[in-house]
Amino acid sequence: MMLDTVDMDGIVVIGEGEKDEAPMLYNGERVGNGRGPQVDVAVDPLEGTRLTAMGRPGAVAVIACSPRGTMYNPYDIFYMEKIAVGPAARGMIDLNAPVAWNIAQVARAKGIAVEEVTVIILDRDRNTEIADQVRAAGARIKFITDGDAPAAVSAAIPGSGVDMMLGIGGSTEGVIAAVALKCVGGDFQGRLWPRHDDDRELAARRGLDVNQVLLLENLVRGDDCMFAASGVTTGELLRGVEYVAGGAVSESLVMRSRSGTVRRIRTEHHWRKLQGINATVN
């Protein structure tokens, strides 16, 4: 994602640099050319590194932005408890409530039986108890190995086969998902999940309340945010990169909260022409 090719002045509020020990896209990094509007940026250049490496479905590149100072910053608290639903269940969920209650709320909102509700969960040991509660409630579970940002978004996309997302995943992905769900009228709640005492001490120094349930308006204020994702490997949300003679084809999803616009963009990339353009750039 070449952020410096557009007129913007962005600060990475949430990146993956520190978490992945990468040299770029760290929290606080300035991106863009400085000539455009000032924005906060949350970015995961490859959501699903393992999926890509193993050729599995569902890897995406994602970015979200909002006006400067409106995006929640979890600093180096890398994990978050989450619940995400689509527009039908907006305003009907509560992260403090039992899992069974939330599932029943979604079922009521969508006019289906509890047994027909499908909950998508990141397959991690930390989510075992949540999965057990979903089973006890009688709902269906769809496990994923990685990529809980697109999983959260899929809960709001008609025809995805997913009704809600639950579990503990990355805080970066949580804020990105919150922006996306705000764009499509869905709902999201999160709560920071400190892994150990060092995380709790860091949160206290940063003034972060690890007991606070973060609503959409806490995670991204106002109604002027944007979300974009491009498929890397084909999944339920997007088709991955397909190589064809002389180039490749990609699919992207672009959403804006203020207009409610959702665009799916199919792009053809021609290697020879692109290389010619890049050769002229100093």
Domains of the chain: 3-72+226-279 (3.30.540.10), 79-219 (3.40.190.90)
- The per-residue pLDDT for range 204-247, each reduced to its tens digit, is 999 999 999 999 999 999 989 999 999 999 988 899 999 999 99
Distance of alpha carbon 45 from alpha carbon 30, whole angstroms = 16
Comparing CA positions, the residue from 228, 258, 250, 236 lying closest to residue 165 is 236
Helices (DSSP H) in the chain: which residue ranges? 17-20, 49-53, 99-110, 128-137, 148-154, 171-184, 197-206, 216-219, 271-279
Give the CA count within 13 Å in the CB-facing half-sphere of 56: 11
pLDDT category of residue 172 using cuts at 50, 70 and 90: confident
Global confidence as pTM: 0.84
pLDDT category of residue 4 using cuts at 50, 70 and 90: very low
